[in-house]
Amino acid sequence: MQRLALQIITGAGFIYGGVLSHSTGQLALFLSLASCAGMTYLQYRSATSKEIYKKALESTLGPDFKQSIDPNRQAVLRTGSSIKDWARPFDMKRTGVKRITNISYGDAAKRRNLLDIYQPTAAREGGYPVLLQVHGGAWIIGNKEQQALPLMYHLAQRGWICISINYRLSPTATFPDHIVDVKKAIAWIRQNISEYGGNSDYFAITGGSAGGHLSSLAALTPNKAEFQPGFEDLDTSIDAAVPFYGIYDFLDRHHILGSMGMEKQLAKLVFKSSPQEQPELWDSMCSESQINSKAPPFFIIHGTHDSLAFEEAGEAFANALGASSENPVAYASVEGAQHAFEIFHSLRTENTINAVTEFLEWSYADKKRKPI
């Protein structure tokens, strides 16, 4: 929308300056108008995400699912967004949120076992429920300061405590090092978050791309001993998961990826082996292989135009999980969205964080209703 407005203003200025008196200027104006029309269409597609999320949540949780949320928490839900919410796409900070940086949760080299806490400044009765964010970057790049900032600031402003982590990266690290670090962070948070006002009785996880893989894998493998060596007895269970555009099946069991798969790169940089050499390792690292009936509630989000993680694979994972899990599995296929579409503020991003907040508030309320 910002580019569209700028282009319209610029075009009006050129017309005022007499550009239409020349054939070249007329051609430029035509191309500019065509570009404006294209951007208007893209803006329309972004706006449709609100209805897509509404349909995904209501079809899974029920048309009146928000009525099960405590009225005080319903009051913090945002039904829409205004232009001030997304007019400045890179303005991440929000009032009422304190960021505490670079807290150590492990002993990995090169400062990879560090986390940041996005802490509400206002107290919350019973403590803040917890959301852990796992960054993406193909398991070889990425940092905790780079992703999901709109979501974390939004939630922290509404009484959630959010934590983003670094974890060991390949090629130095080898699977399952990455998920071991995620589990390490979960264990640390459960033991220590009360010092920051958090209440780990409710613990959700999210992440995009490689973080979508790791967050889903963590949610599906609570207390799995081989993923938490040396801290096998610590609690790493998760109450809800919201993976974005993740890679859930390295073995391409649904024959979706074909020649577009990443087997060679993964074998060289991340697994340090081929599927034939270590089939059990490759299988164990697939979120789809870890599907079970006790999986927590999931809200899986994928863009239809994702060129790095195919939407069809995300849908296949959601369908397989939904067929097995005793808990709800919502799936949103976001029309026109590319990979990492929600990293910066936009109309689509605001619709996304509104929907994720609704899901997490529903999940939190649902857990509180259940007997311990």
Q: Which residues are catalytic?
A: 209, 306, 339
Q: Is 19 exposed, middle or buried (0-12, 13-18, 19+ CB in 10 A)?
A: middle
- According to DSSP H, which parts of the chain are helical? 2-16, 23-47, 49-61, 71-74, 83-86, 149-157, 177-192, 210-220, 263-266, 279-284, 311-324, 347-369
SS3 content of the chain, % helix, strand, coil (to 5): 45, 15, 40
What whole-number distance in Å separates Cα of residue 222 and Cα of residue 362? 21
Tokens of 285: 């690292």
The answer to whether 193 and 187 have CB atoms below 8 angstroms apart is no
- Whole-angstrom CA distances from 219 to 15, 182, 222, 241 are 57, 11, 6, 6
Q: Which residues contact 33 (CB under 8 A, 6 or more apart)?
A: 11
The answer to whether 238 and 206 have CB atoms below 8 angstroms apart is no
Counting other chains too, the contacts that 29-35 makes at CB distance below 8 Å and 24 or more residues apart are 32/7, 35/7
333 - beta bridge partners?
302
**Residues 112, 134, 129, CA angle at the centre, nearest 5°?**
115
What whole-number distance in Å separates Cα of residue 100 and Cα of residue 108? 20
Give the H/E segment covering residue 334: strand 329-334
Judge if the upstream peptide bond of residue 371 is cis by omega within 30 degrees of 0: no
